[in-house]
Structure 1
Amino acid sequence: MSPLPHALTHWSAEQVARIVPDGPERLPVLTPADIVPIDPAHDFWDMWQIARADGSTVFVDGRSYWFFLGTPRFADPESRHDAARIYLTSHGSDGWRLHGATFPDGFTPGSREWSGSAVLAEDGVTLTMYFTAAGRRGGPHSFEQRLFETVGRFIVDGPDTRTDGWSPPVESVVADGECYRVANEIEAPATGIKGFRDPGFFHDPATGRDHLLFVGSAGWTDALIDGVIGIASRDSADTPWHPGTPLVDAIGVNSELERPHIILRNGLYYLFWSTQARRFAPGLPAPTGLYALVANGMDGPWRPVNGSGLVAGNPAAEPMQAYCWWVTGEGQVAAFVDYAGLNGADASADVSLRRARFGGTAAPFFQLDFAGDRVTIRAATG
């Protein structure tokens, strides 16, 4: 269908303004014991689990399997975005294990690999990866973002657990420049790059249709703050994706609604995303955190969870301690440790402080409780 120059639902400044400074949505301050490296030689951040089409997490012999963006540990952790690759890890009772790079060297069409989602077929082996190609391999550096997918094999064989046999990556959805702005900036402005990334797969059992959600920038406005959650849909795996009307816009409110994904609970559709405090319009009292809207179906209207949209925010004492919250079909939440233990210090111009305080590892999981339009934090689960 042809995209319309608007979104189904507007996330408003009035809704965001309902956030209170010390509400129950705030997460506890991380302790040193909470920050355990997945691998001491690497930094890891954005993550997503291997899931089935119904959103349930895949477990093999008591372990769940997760993809992270990762790099070797650079002197400045902010350099990681220009070298990111996707790594396979797993989590079990003994903690995290690193299983290695997901794709062969030079396989993907970007100069680096950014976030996505992964779906395992019923055979337990065939794995589809949806991911973002940032820049172009062999080309000059840029912040161009394109959505791709590839199909490979997920092999669990003790220490040799791996993915292999990937098909040539195929571009899933292309920004039209009208509804979804083309994200192809050469330099990153201080206000943040435009978005067309983070494909999150969702199968709607009510209709049988598949959907890809993604972070985008509205193409129908010149507003600087122009974040949207976009969607593309298809009738079956044998048919192409078709972009549709964005589910949500935050024009004038927030410029970056990252890692959007949907889970079903008690017949309701919960649309989650992460965003950072600095992406909100000036004056809005919103923390870096996990946000959500809820609806009775994909056609909306979408209502802000907890009245404001905030589900879990960083504590005021450590406003940058974690990021990129990802909610599994079981309501468990993963994130990565960002800049923890700053104690009010400003690391923006201090490389050594950034290196000392960047976690670059998984944060402790926590669980959510769902009750209609309310979603609350239960407790840490390890």
Structure 2
Amino acid sequence: MTHRLDTAADGGRRPTSWTREQAERIERTADNVAPIIYPPAEDAFPELHIWDTWLLRTRDGSIADLDGWRVLVSLTAPADLLPGKRHDVAALRYFYSRDGQEWNRGGRVFEEGAAFGSRQWAGSALYDDGELYFFYTASGRRDEGELTYEQRLAVGHGGTVETSDDGVDVGGSFDHEILLTADGEFYETEDQSRGMIYTFRDPWFFEDPQTGKTHLLFEGNAPVSEGSDACGGDAAQQEFNGCIGIATSESGDPTDWELRPPLVEGTCVNQELERPHVVVHDDRYYLFTPSHEHTFAPGLHGFDGLYGFVADSLDGEYEPLNGSGLVVANPGNAPFQAYSWLAFGHREEILVHSFFNYYDLGGRSLDDVADLPPEEQQRRFGGSFAPTLRLGVDGDRTWIRGTLAHGHVPTEDEELEEPFEPRRDRRSGGY
């Protein structure tokens, strides 16, 4: 059952709006365009498609240290499946590394058929005093005859984790719970949906260092009824109603949540504000979300990229980074080369992990990929970890300041070389 805190109980907070005026400023610049990605010299996991990835973290957001090992969790599918079908069979798998550069393949996080949903989509992972919590999106229903797109926020907790000189083994049985479903008031239900894509997914655990409160961020849609005056009454724009949702655990229990009003609403701007997550940097709250070019409302021109907002507290009010919200964009000649960016702190900087998506498309759109021969669809899909980006941050301005190797997640004591950066006027973001 979904519990909900009303707005009054939430201190009267209202969601921050990402406005069309702000989104109209989106453009590629020298500061936000990522370098071209080339395939790694060797595919470490040729038997798998790998995409959305997240880190096993502790309550304070640090990367969990398991006797010198760190762990990534990814959505995976067999590599012999056409890439466009991978979401239909997605399963969580873990990877482990000592140096954050050479990753080893672990097994599936959950036994086949044990988790909710006919497949599992993105989430987050918590290691708390020896306890494992794997948050995920339960997509569809277990054993359904035809795939549906119902989405619920779920967790598998319990299990065991064992370490040795040879690696990490996650096993045992997990207790699975549905944590939250859309309530129809703060967050649109599937029956209410008018848009091209319905969303209630991507649970992201976050404990606020400022208040000590425990939260779960997620992607949703803000209800907009037919006949509403939102977007000036433009029904076509109203269908683009993505939002960044939040739930709170008053007790701190990672299995007990109450819905709160969204942090950010993108009504009239964008349908999907995916995998929202927060990095606290210089005592400010940086709220990041990846999104696609095709999910922007009519009249707006965004890119497959990482978008972000900044505030002095988790509740906001948020300002879009760089005036428009755009933080990282794929280059114009490789517009789909990476996706599902995840920002995380390392010492005094912010790093950004993603996966290597479609490349060498020769100007084709993603819709055109399905018309290619199967072997060409496979060849043009990376399906592996992308190079890690280094992000410069100064207040409400960001810029790409360098890159690391594919899948590089530096260890806590790893010193990174100072990258070359052109001199910039931090006030304008220009040169």
TM-score by length of 2: 0.82
C-alpha contact (below 8 Å) 2:69/2:167 kept by paired residues: no
User: Which SS does the other structure have where 2:84 is aligned?
Assistant: helix
State the Cα distance separating 1:19 from its structure 2 match.
2.1
Whether 1:137 and 2:152 are equivalent positions in the alignment is no
Whether 1:108 and 2:115 are equivalent positions in the alignment is yes
C-alpha contact (below 8 Å) 1:57/1:328 kept by paired residues: no
Q: Cα deviations across residues 146-202 of structure 1 (Å, max 9, x unaligned)?
A: 1111223332224452222343211112211222112379xx99x642000000111
Question: 2: distance between equivalents of 1:44 and 1:194?
Answer: 23
* Bigger mean CA deviation after superposition, 58-67 or 74-83: 58-67
Whether 1:66 and 2:72 are equivalent positions in the alignment is yes
Whether 1:203 and 2:207 are equivalent positions in the alignment is yes
C-alpha contact (below 8 Å) 1:289/1:310 kept by paired residues: yes
Q: Cα deviations across residues 26-53 of structure 1 (Å, max 9, x unaligned)?
A: 10111234x7534111101001001111
> What is the aligned partner in structure 2 of residue 88 from structure 1?
94
State the Cα distance separating 1:372 from its structure 2 match.
1.1
RMSD between superposed Cα atoms in Å? 2.3
State the Cα distance separating 1:3 from its structure 2 match.
5.3
Q: Cα deviations across residues 75-125 of structure 1 (Å, max 9, x unaligned)?
A: 42111101000000124365221111111111101110110001111x3x3
Question: 1: distance between equivalents of 2:399 and 2:314?
Answer: 22
Question: 2: distance between equivalents of 1:367 and 1:49?
Answer: 17
Consecutive unaligned residues of structure 2, counting only runs of 5 or more, are: 227-237, 406-431
> What is the aligned partner in structure 2 of residue 225 from structure 1?
240
> What is the aligned partner in structure 1 of residue 48 from structure 2?
42
> What is the aligned partner in structure 1 of residue 219 from structure 2?
215
Whether 1:57 and 2:57 are equivalent positions in the alignment is no
Whether 1:344 and 2:351 are equivalent positions in the alignment is no
State the Cα distance separating 1:329 from its structure 2 match.
3.0
C-alpha contact (below 8 Å) 2:214/2:250 kept by paired residues: yes
C-alpha contact (below 8 Å) 1:228/1:256 kept by paired residues: yes
Q: Cα deviations across residues 242-300 of structure 1 (Å, max 9, x unaligned)?
A: 10110111111100000000110111011001001011123323111011100001221
State the Cα distance separating 1:369 from its structure 2 match.
2.1
State the Cα distance separating 1:351 from its structure 2 match.
4.5
Question: 2: distance between equivalents of 1:371 and 1:351?
Answer: 46
* Bigger mean CA deviation after superposition, 245-254 or 59-68: 59-68
Whether 1:316 and 2:332 are equivalent positions in the alignment is yes
Question: 2: distance between equivalents of 1:166 and 1:210?
Answer: 25
Relative distance call for 1:97 and 1:184 in structure 2 (3 A) is: farther
Question: 1: distance between equivalents of 2:393 and 2:209?
Answer: 20
> What is the aligned partner in structure 1 of residue 82 from structure 2?
76
Larger Rg: 2
C-alpha contact (below 8 Å) 2:224/2:241 kept by paired residues: no
Q: Cα deviations across residues 306-325 of structure 1 (Å, max 9, x unaligned)?
A: 11111111001100110000
Relative distance call for 1:25 and 1:51 in structure 2 (3 A) is: same
> What is the aligned partner in structure 2 of residue 276 from structure 1?
292
TM-score by length of 1: 0.92
Q: Cα deviations across residues 213-263 of structure 1 (Å, max 9, x unaligned)?
A: 111011244421110111101122348311011011111110000000011
